[in-house]
Amino acid sequence: MRKKILVLVMTFVTLLTGCSSEKNQEVIGDEVTIIAPSSIGGGWDLTARAMQDVLMSEKLIDGDIQVMNKIGAGGELGWKYTNQQKDHVLAINSSLLITNHLLGQSKITYKDFTPIAILATEWEVVIVSKDSNISSARSLMDNMKEAPHRFKIGVSPRLGNDDQLSFVLVGKQVGLNSDELDFFIYENSAQVVDALLKKQIDVATMTLAEAKKYYDLNQVKMLVISSDKRLEELPDVPTWSEEGIDLVFEHWRGVMGPPNMTKSEIQFWDTTMEKMVQTEKWQQTLEKYMWKDFYKNSSETAKFLEEQDKMYEALMNVNRKD
C-alpha cells in the first residue's frame, strides 16, 4: 500500500513539474538572449556571462541562453537594440543608461525599458602602469592640481560613466574643475590598459573587476579603491579616505527588458532572479569578481532607478556649474 501511495505522489509531482515547465516555456520561449552592450571582457559582458552560467548550470530556466555583444556608443547600440525587441531579450545596464541621457548623448532613458533587477555593486579603482613614477593617489592629485593638463586619464566606454564621475568628484575635493581633467576615451578597459602600458596615457580609472586581472598579471599598480575600508583580498590598496579624500563610491549593474513586457514575464524573472542570487554559484561569482550583493526585484529596481536619476542629475548639475 505504501509503495502505491509513493508512486502516486511521485506521479503527481512529475505532472506538476511538467506543467510548471511548460508554463515557463510559454512565458520565455526556447531561447533567451542577454545583450551585453560592450565587448567581451568588459563589466557588462562579465555580468551577462555570469548570469548565463548560473541560470544554465543551476537549471533555473528550461530554454537556452545566449549572450550577444552589441558594441558601440557607450552602450547605446545595445540598448537601442533591446528597446526594439519584443521576444525574450534582456540587457545589462548601469548608471551610464542614466547619465548618457543627462549629458545629452542619448534620447533613451531608463523609462524606455522594463526594469527587471539590480544585481550587484563594485568599487572603482585608479591604476597606473607597473613602472610608473606615480607612487600614490594623493601625490597624483596634488601633482594634477599644480599642472592638470600634464596628465592623460584613460576611461571607457564613454564620458559620464561612474569611472569618470568618481574621478571628477575626487578632483573637486582638491580644487580641480572637471574641464581641467584630460580624459581619453576608449571602447573598453582592455584598450585603456593597453594605452596605459604603451605610455599613451598616464593613469586610468575603471571598476575593480576590470582592473584586477591586469593587477594579478603584475602589469599595473592600484593606487586607490573607492571602498569604505581596505579589502581583505587587496590589503595593500588604500581607500580614498586614507589618502585624505572623503569619497566612497559604488558602481551598480542591473538587468532590464524591452518596454511593455507582460506581467507574466516580469513575475517569471522576479522569481528566477531571486533564485539565482541565492545559489552558491552566484555567491562564488560575487567573490570571484569582488562584487557586492545588491539584489533588487523589478518593483524595487523601478524605485531605485528613479532615485538614481535624481541623484545623477544633481551631481551633473554641479559639474555643469563649473
At 183, the amino acid letter reads F
Three-state helix/strand/coil letters over 126-145: EEEECCCCCCCHHHHHHHHH
The reply to whether 2-120+252-312 and 123-250 are identical in fold is yes
**Domain at 123-250: CATH architecture:** 3-Layer(aba) Sandwich (3.40)
| Closest by Cα among 209, 211, 208, 210 to 128 | 211
Query: What pLDDT score was predicted for residue 26?
Result: 55
Which H or E element spans position 64?
strand 64-69
Query: How far is residue 134's CA from residue 308's CA, in Å, rounded to a whole number?
Result: 34
Assigned C-alpha cell, 173: 575635493
Segments in the chain below pLDDT 70: 1-29, 317-322
Q: What are phi and psi of 121, to 5 degrees?
A: -125, 160
pLDDT of 27 reads: 62
pLDDT of residue 7: 44
Q: What is the pLDDT of residues 97-113, one digit of tens each?
A: 999 999 999 999 999 99
Q: How far apart are CA 169 and CA 176, in angstroms?
A: 9
pLDDT digits 0-9 by tens, 115-163: 999 999 999 999 999 999 999 999 999 999 999 999 999 999 999 999 9
In the chain, the DSSP E strands lie at 31-36, 64-69, 89-94, 114-129, 152-155, 182-185, 203-207, 220-225, 250-257, 292-296
Measured CA to CA, the distance from residue 171 to residue 181 in angstroms comes to 8
- CATH superfamily of domain region 2-120+252-312: Bordetella uptake gene, domain 1 (3.40.190.150)
Locate the domains of the chain by residue range: 2-120+252-312, 123-250
Pairing of strands 114-129, 89-94: unpaired
Question: What is the pLDDT, as a whole number, of residue 87?
Answer: 79
pLDDT for the residue numbered 84: 95
Threshold 0.85, pTM exceeds? yes
